[in-house]
Each structure stands twice: as structure tokens, then as C-alpha cells.
Amino acid sequence: MRASHPSNAPGRTACRPDGTVPVTARRPRLVATGPAWLRRGTQRVDFYHTLSWMLSVMTQTYAAQQSTASIPTRLTHRINWWQAITAGVVLSGLVNLALYLIGHLAGATFLVAAESGSDEVTAGMILFFSTVPLAVGTALAVLLANWWTWVLRLAQVIGAALALATIAGIFAAEAGTGTAISLTVMHVVVAVAVVLILEVVRGTHRHNRRAE
């Protein structure tokens, strides 16, 4: 029995008598798909080009995120200190007047105990204490910040603490429940206004220092 040539075994490519492999019998060459730098050779990938591509994608993604996230910051840079104070004071006054009206509609009397009996907290008093101290305090902080920028952060803490600490006087005046709740929320509004106004001013100061 004639032994079969190893080249004629199952799973192997048939050879010619001279030992060469026919062109049609040769295995097809694998063709890589993808970017040009991925097609260098049959199965080889250029590591450095891959790393460079990944870094470029990450950089573009980070830049897009920073551009989107910095939109509010760029808007605050366009606000001057007096615009920030004016807007904050006006909003504080309007919000507290709205709370005063809501309190009246809810049945709050806005009567507080006094030495002569009881005094009524009027809309004019609400408007005055919601705007004048806020405007004077923030303007003074901005003025001092021309020499010491850390004053703005300190003024945020002190201003908010004073607005919240005076809430104790509401309960000491033996005000009704509706009156106490309304006045307490008004004090919180003023405290928030102090922090937000001076935060905008701080952002403007930082932007101006970087631009110099």
C-alpha cells in the first residue's frame, strides 16, 4: 500500500510534485479593517498611535465638558459688583414681600410683643430690613475687598450668621406660629442673599486678577 504524502493528508494543502504550493491553494491573507494606522501588517497594532488617538479623544471630551460647565462662570464674570448687589437686594426685598403677603393670606397677624403691648410688623418694615442692611453690608465688604480680598469670605460668614442669629428674637417676642414661621423664612432669604451676592463678587475678583 502506497503511503500518502504528508502534504495530501486531510486538513493540509496539496503540493505539486516539485514541492511548491499552487497559488489557488494558498490560504487567503487576512485583511484588517479600520484606520490606516491599524492596518500596518496583518495582525499588528501600532501601540503608540493607539495611545495618541485615545489621548486626543480624552482631551477633546474634557475640553467639551469644561466649556459647557464654565458657561455660568463666564456669565458671572460679566456682572459688576454693583449689579450683583442691586440684583440681590431687589430680589431679597421682593421675595420677602411675597412671603409677607402669603403669611397674611394664611392667617398670620404679624404682631409681636413689645413693652407697650404689641406692635405690628408692616410691609414697609419688611422691605427696609430686607434691603438696607443687606445693601450696606455687602457694599462695605466689597469696598474693603479692594485691599483684602479675604474680607469677602469673612463677610459671607458674618452676614449669614447675623441674619440667622436674629431669628431667636422672633421667638423671644412671643409671636404667633404663622408670624414666627414667616419671619424666620424671611431671615433665611436674607442670609442666602448675602452669600450669593458676595460669591458673585468673589468670582469677579478672581477673574480680574487672572486677567491682569
End-to-end CA distance of the chain: 98
pLDDT band at 1 (very low <50, low <70, confident <90, very high): very low
Give the model's pLDDT for residue 203. 81
Q: What is the pTM of this model?
A: 0.62
Mean pLDDT of 28-49: 50
pLDDT tens for 60-104 read 665 655 544 443 445 445 678 888 999 999 999 999 999 999 999
The beta strands (E) that lie in 40-188 are given as 111-114, 117-120
The C-alpha cell that represents 101 in the structure block: 403677603
What is the spatial distance between Cα 102 and Cα 50, in angstroms, rounded to a whole number? 64
pLDDT digits (tens, 9 = 90+) for 136-161: 999 999 999 989 889 999 999 999 99
